[in-house]
Amino acid sequence: MTVALAGRAPATFEIKSANLPLVSLLLKSCDLATLAQEMKERFGDIPDFFDQDPLVIDLTPLQAQGEVAVEFTELLHLLRAYGVVPVAARGGSKAQMAAARLVGLAAAPEARALERPARAEPEPALVRAEPTSVRAEPVEALRQAQGEREKAQGERERPHEHVSALIVDKPLRSGQQVYARGRDLVVLSMVNPGAEVIADGHIHVYAPLRGKAIAGARGNADARILSLCMEPELISIAGVYRTSEVPLPAEVRGKPCQVRLDGGAQGKLVMTPLKN
């Protein structure tokens, strides 16, 4: 006679479905030397741009080039040097995905990059991916999947917690750099030539801005730069930039001004005087 034993949940662990926010690298070329150079040009001056962010390597752009080999070992070594943690791959051919699995990358066919305009400058596209589900199919995960999905939906609908701006109240000298990760940056003193202020959101400088200002560093095309005295070496929003080699218009040079991006990441910088 067959006896069915009642199920008992383990006391030492529990398996549930989970959502993991990822960064997505859209790999457009297998030329790792060129990739390394472009990564250095884009992120070499911002060593903490990424903070051990999980990353999925999207091989979809390579499919138009036929069956090309990807040196995953070298690629992973290159990416880890910039503070990302490659965990998965998607969009590759059977051979490419097999090679990815050999170096420990999981297959993530459901991961999708958020829709946003491409950057103005040619560079590896690093954008946020939609959260992808990491599922444990058997046992309690199947029973709890519906509840977990409802909980995740509720968390997505919950208003995001407000993140206050990073405030700097001392002058920034040449060679100094300040980065406001995931928030706005407010500077109450002068940004001298050779200094650099970076923010994922807006940049407010309530003093002369004579160094470099990079707003929307992670692609936020709605970010703005404001200063009471606009005399920058470089201004940039979402990768669209202008240097001091192109003089500012007389109506904003050395005066209160705001800079915004018109037309998205493929647009142009627009400078508007601030009225008293």
Whose CA is closest to 214, among 228, 195, 229, 192?
Answer: 195
Count of all residues that appear for the chain in the document: 276
Domains in the chain, ordered, with CATH? 18-134+151-157 (3.30.70.260), 166-273 (2.160.20.70)
> pLDDT tens digits, residue range 133-192?
444 444 444 345 555 555 555 554 455 556 789 999 999 998 889 999 899 999 999 999
Question: Higher-confidence residue: 147 or 231?
Answer: 231
Distance of CA 206 to the CA centre of its chain: 27
Write out the two tokens for 137.
């199919």
62-103 residue pLDDT tens? 998 888 999 999 999 999 988 889 999 999 999 999 999 999
Query: What pairs with residue 243 in β-bridges?
Result: 234
Q: How confident is the model at residue 125, as a pLDDT?
A: 46
Closest alpha carbon to 214 in 25, 52, 36, 46 = 46
CB atoms within 10 A of CB 272: 14
**What does the pLDDT average to over 205-222?**
92
Model pTM score: 0.50
- Res 42 pLDDT > 90: no
